[in-house]
Amino acid sequence: MAKRKFVKQALSQWMTGEGPDSEVVVSSRVRVARNLRNMPFPIMAATEQSLSVMEQLLGVAESGRLNGLGKIEHVRLSELTELEKLVLVEKHLISPNLANDSRNAALILGPNEDISVMINEEDHLRIQYLCSGFQVREAWDMASKVDDIFEEQVDYAFDEKHGYLTSCPTNVGTGIRASVMMHLPALVMTGQINRILSAVTQVGLAVRGIYGEGSEATGNLFQVSNQVTLGQSEQEIIENLFQVAHQIIEHEKSARSKLLTESRLRVEDRVRRSFGILSQALIMDSKEASQRLSDIRLGSHLGLLPEVDPLSMNELLVSTQPGFLQMTFGEAMSPEDRDKSRADLIRSRLATLS
Q: Rounded CA gap, 291 and 197, in Å?
A: 19
Pair 189, 220: CB distance under 8 Å: no
Residue 255 is labelled as binding a ligand: no
Residue 238 is labelled as binding a ligand: no
In this structure, the number of other CB atoms found within 10 A of the CB of residue 21 comes to 18
Q: Rounded CA gap, 131 and 154, in Å?
A: 27
Task: List all residues 6 or more positions away from 11 whose beta carbon is below 8 Å from its beta carbon.
Answer: 311, 314, 315, 318
Angle at 292 between CA 286 and CA 293, to 5 degrees: 85
Q: Rounded CA gap, 53 and 118, in Å?
A: 12
Residue 181 is labelled as binding a ligand: yes
Phi/psi at 91 (5° precision): -90, 5
Pair 334, 341: CB distance under 8 Å: no
Residue 301 is labelled as binding a ligand: no
Residue 92 is labelled as binding a ligand: yes
Q: Rounded CA gap, 304 and 148, in Å?
A: 46
Residue 146 is labelled as binding a ligand: no
Residue 126 is labelled as binding a ligand: yes
Sign of CA dihedral 179, 180, 183, 189: negative
Residue 208 is labelled as binding a ligand: yes
Residue 228 is labelled as binding a ligand: no
Round the CA-based radius of gyration of the chain to a whole number and report it. Answer: 21
In this structure, the number of other CB atoms found within 10 A of the CB of residue 97 comes to 17
Residue 180 is labelled as binding a ligand: yes
Helix, strand or coil for residue 204?
Answer: coil
Residue 28 is labelled as binding a ligand: yes
Q: Rounded CA gap, 163 and 126, in Å?
A: 16
Measure CA 145 to chain center.
20
Q: Binding site: what residues are annotated?
A: 27-31, 92, 126, 177-181, 208-213
Q: Binding site for ATP: what residues are annotated?
A: 27-31, 92, 126, 177-181, 208-213
